[in-house]
Amino acid sequence: MGNHTVTHSVILGTGSYVPERVLSNADLEKMVDTSDQWIRERTGISERRVARADEATSHLSLHAANHALEAAGVEPGEIDLIIVTTLTPDTMCPAAACWLQSHIGAHRAAAFDLNAACTGFVYGLQAADAYIRSGMMKKVLLVSADVMTRMTNWEDRGTCVLWGDGAGAVVVGASENGRRGVVDSRVYSDGNGGELILVPGGGSRFAPITADDVHNKEHLLQMKGQETFKTAVRYFLGACKETLERSGLTLDDIDVFIPHQANLRIIEAVAKRLELSMDKVVITINKYGNMSAATIPVALDESVREGKIRSGDNVLMAAFGGGLTWGAALVEWN
Ligand code: ACO
Instruction: For residue 258, report the distance from its CA to the centre of ligand 1, in Å.
Output: 23
Catalytic residue among 25, 115, 263, 290: 290
Catalytic residue among 67, 240, 260, 263: 260
Domain boundaries, the chain: 9-174, 182-332
Given this model, what pLDDT does residue 5 score?
Answer: 61
Q: Does the active-site annotation cover 240?
A: no
Over range 138-157, report the average pLDDT. Answer: 97
Over range 60-69, report the average pLDDT. Answer: 98
Ligand 1: nearest atom to the Cα of 265? 39
Over range 27-41, report the average pLDDT. Answer: 98
Ligand 1 contacts CB of residue 206 (under 6 A): no
Ligand 1 contacts CB of residue 225 (under 6 A): yes
Of the residues 29, 123, 187, 226, which should be mutated to test ligand 1's pocket, given the most ligand atoms within 8 Å of the CB? 226
Residue whose CA is closest, atom 13 of ligand 1? 158
Q: What is the mean pLDDT of the chain?
A: 95
Given this model, what pLDDT does residue 208 score?
Answer: 74
Residue pLDDT, tens place only, 86-134: 999 999 999 999 999 999 999 999 999 999 999 999 999 999 999 999 9
Instruction: For residue 155, report the distance from its CA to the centre of ligand 1, in Å.
Output: 14
Over range 21-40, report the average pLDDT. Answer: 98
Over range 3-21, report the average pLDDT. Answer: 87
Instruction: For residue 247, report the distance from its CA to the centre of ligand 1, in Å.
Output: 35
Is the pLDDT score of 47 beyond 70?
yes
Q: Please, which pLDDT band fits residue 67 given cuts at 50, 70 and 90? A: very high
Ligand 1 contacts CB of residue 88 (under 6 A): no
Residue pLDDT, tens place only, 165-224: 999 999 999 988 778 899 999 999 999 999 999 999 988 887 778 888 889 999 999 999
Over range 287-314, report the average pLDDT. Answer: 97
Ligand 1 contacts CB of residue 43 (under 6 A): yes
**What is the topology classification, in CATH, of domain 9-174?**
Peroxisomal Thiolase; Chain A, domain 1 (3.40.47)
Query: Which residues lie below 8 Å from residue 97, measured CB to CB, with a gap of 6+?
Result: 82, 83, 84, 111, 112, 113, 143
Q: Please, which pLDDT band fits residue 4 given cuts at 50, 70 and 90? A: low
**What is the topology classification, in CATH, of domain 182-332?**
Peroxisomal Thiolase; Chain A, domain 1 (3.40.47)
Over range 121-150, report the average pLDDT. Answer: 97
Q: Does the active-site annotation cover 290?
A: yes
Residue 26's Cβ-side half-sphere holds a number of Cα atoms within 13 Å equal to 1
Q: Does the active-site annotation cover 219?
A: no
Over range 75-84, report the average pLDDT. Answer: 98
Q: What is the 3-state secondary structure (H, E, C) of 279-316?
A: HHECCCHHHHCECHHHHHHHHHHHHHHCCCCCCCCEEE
Is the pLDDT score of 255 beyond 60?
yes
Residue whose CA is closest, atom 49 of ligand 1? 321
Cα 272 to Cα 323: distance, rounded to the nearest angstrom:
26
Report pTM: 0.96
Identical fold between 9-174 and 182-332: yes
Instruction: For residue 41, report the distance from its CA to the centre of ligand 1, in Å.
Output: 11
End-to-end CA distance of the chain: 25
Shortest CA distance to 169 belongs to which of 50, 48, 314, 13? Answer: 13
